[in-house]
Structure 1
Amino acid sequence: MSLAERVSRAWYRDSAWLTPLRPLGALTARVARRRLGRLRKGPDAAPVPVLVVGNITVGGTGKTPLVIALCRAAAARGIKVVVISRGYGARPPSLPWTVTPQQSAAEAGDEPLLISHATDVPVIIDPQRVRALTAALDLQPDLVISDDGLQHYALARTAEIAVVDARRGLGNGRCLPAGPLREPASRLDRVDWVVINGDGPFRHAGGVPMQLDAPWLENAASQERVPLAAFVARYPQVHALAGIGDPERFFGMLRGSGFVVQPHPFPDHHAFVADDLALPGDAPVIMTEKDLVKCRDFVSPRCWVLPVTATLPPGFIDRVLAQLVQDTEI
């Protein structure tokens, strides 16, 4: 187990060896509160609505499937959306950079490339999100969605959604480095919506439940689709590969579907190579959509992807879009 994995596990178990780090966590919380106070005084408002979808914890919570669901719903209602993203790990020729489905994950970043593949909306990456927003406005959108960026206070925003993993919640409730929080837990009281992903003990007043549904598996080489239940009946034992913020969430989803899983976790945003997929035996290899965009050049017919769709309460996305884009029809 790597040091990062040990620390992450300690955050969610509130291990005693983290106690000396509590003063540093309190300092992080104090700085975050001051920065949030400056945010509330405002950067200047953008000329179009800006929705930030992010989280307050380190690691994955399921925000990218939510961004994809919002983009698809907006497109169905005739709302022109541009997505902006930091583009973690991307190495584009210049910045800001417009992502297209034909690019590589090394050039575009895995999450921006996944969003581009899944939605066909313009995706602009730049670590300086204000510069990304300026480039997005040149495309004359009706709505800009920022994938992550809740703590990027220089970015003007109209509304915020914070996504929390129901199983892991807020860990020990402390800020970095004593815990997994980027900001104090009270930050959730100041966003417009808290979306709670999956099943678990975490609760928040007014929280909106979200489930990631996966009705089928798709072959990474041939694009053949097989219903999940039929696949489990045919191949009950599988390898599962995940280089995401919380690999156990993916492995647990497969186990819950009836698979006997041999897990292969990798660090978030891992740059896969062909040898990573050369797993022993002949059992199928199942991966996430985020990982597939980094493996397209060397996948084999043995490799399958589990596409997920964010499912939210009826009318929730309609209400979000109507609040942001005034002429939206519901």
Structure 2
Amino acid sequence: MSIAQIIQNAWNTQAKWLIVLRPLSWIYRFGFLLNKQCYKSKFKTAYHAPVPVMVIGNITVGGSGKTPLLIQLVKYLQQNQIKVGVISRGYGGQGPFPALVTVDAMPEIVGDEPCLIVQSTGVLMAVGANRQASIELLLQHAALDLIISDDGLQHWALERQLEWIVLDQNRGLGNQKLLPEGYLREPVSRLKDSTVIEHGAHPTSELNMHLEVAIPYLLNPLYDQAELFDPCLDYYAVVGIGFPQRFYQTLESLGVEQFQCHEFPDHHDYEIDDIQFEDSNPIITTEKDAVKLLPLLRQHPTFNREIWVIPVEAVLSNQCYALLNRQLSQLGIQIA
């Protein structure tokens, strides 16, 4: 098990030994606040895009439901004739950057989440660490009404007009400590400055979302005839996401009780040996992981183990859409 996985497990269980990392958290806090103040005082110059920018992010490390929320918002805007583009860091991608993401893009080049976003929505999307360069690349290809930044909440070099922070009710804020003692990227007080969308089955806020599971599908059908998902089988749950426990809960909600957990770091670059097991039991995984597994299967056409994918869709409260409409109207963007 890697150091990253050990620390992630400690975060999830709020292990007491994390206190030994507190001096590193003090250093992180100092550096973070210093960088933020440099932009606030104009010592460093932030980029102001020619069109409004909306950042969707979180103050925690790991999965919060941000990507499903972004996908749902993009679909909503597209349905209402809003010309929207998306930018992302492209974490895990090798570049060169900035790069446009197409439906045929490879995750090792542009990152796994950008591939999933474009495959789900067809949105115009660019990735790269330099957000200004990504925005300029988008605007070379289309006139846009709005640009959504996938993550980048702490990227002060980019000015933004809207911020939505996803807060996972299930995972919460852990021990409420900054990295690396806890999994907070920013102090809890940051939640007072932006729109907070609560992600959970039993929300306490009117601004909330939850994930609904769609029909599982086979990533690699081995036979010509259609196959039905069988929750009674014994599966290998293969996941490389920030908070795998949510996926396990999803499996249990589908009636899948027999599965062996095989966890990898978030944005893991899979190799064929990662999905080789001694028996012929099927694999079950997330859409984010499937994006990386599919090219691997194409490289190994003799691989003959079924891989089932569990798709999820964000369901937003009516209040989320009402607020979004008001916020966009204030920016001169009218929902049709």
Q: TM-score, normalised by structure 1?
A: 0.88
- 1:148 corresponding residue in structure 2: 151
**Which shifted more, 280-289 or 169-178?**
280-289
Deviation of 1:91 after TM superposition, in Å, equals 1.6
1:221 partnered with 2:224: no
1:289 partnered with 2:264: no
- 2:251 corresponding residue in structure 1: 254
Deviation of 1:165 after TM superposition, in Å, equals 1.9
- 1:328 corresponding residue in structure 2: 334
1:10 partnered with 2:10: yes
Aligned mates of 1:217, 1:83 — CA distance in 2: 27
Aligned mates of 2:107, 2:47 — CA distance in 1: 33
Name the amino acid aligned to 1:26: W
| Correspondence list, 1:130-279, <5 A | 130-138=132-140, 139-191=142-194, 193-199=195-201, 206=205, 208-222=207-221, 231-232=229-230, 235-260=232-257, 261-279=259-277
Cα 1:169/1:291, change in 2 over 3 Å: same
Cα 1:77/1:36, change in 2 over 3 Å: same
Aligned mates of 1:63, 1:272 — CA distance in 2: 22
| Correspondence list, 1:94-113, <5 A | 94-113=96-115
Percent of paired sites with the same residue: 39
CA RMSD of aligned residues (A): 2.6
Aligned mates of 1:39, 1:312 — CA distance in 2: 33
SS at match of 1:72: helix
Cα 1:177/1:220, change in 2 over 3 Å: same
CA contact (8 A) 1:80 1:143 kept: yes
Cα 1:301/1:236, change in 2 over 3 Å: closer
- 1:310 corresponding residue in structure 2: 314
Cα 1:44/1:277, change in 2 over 3 Å: closer
Name the amino acid aligned to 2:311: P
**Which shifted more, 291-300 or 137-146?**
291-300
CA contact (8 A) 2:94 2:110 kept: yes
Deviation of 1:301 after TM superposition, in Å, equals 6.4
- 1:50 corresponding residue in structure 2: 53
Deviation of 1:317 after TM superposition, in Å, equals 2.8
In structure 2, runs of 5+ residues without a counterpart are 298-302
Deviation string 1:101-159 (CA, Å, 9 cap, x unpaired) is 11211112101111110110111001111221222233221110000000000111011
Deviation of 1:220 after TM superposition, in Å, equals 0.8
CA contact (8 A) 1:208 1:313 kept: yes
CA contact (8 A) 2:218 2:307 kept: yes
CA contact (8 A) 2:47 2:158 kept: no
Corresponding pairs, count? 322
CA contact (8 A) 2:72 2:313 kept: yes
Name the amino acid aligned to 2:24: L
SS at match of 1:294: helix
Name the amino acid aligned to 1:212: L
- 1:114 corresponding residue in structure 2: 116
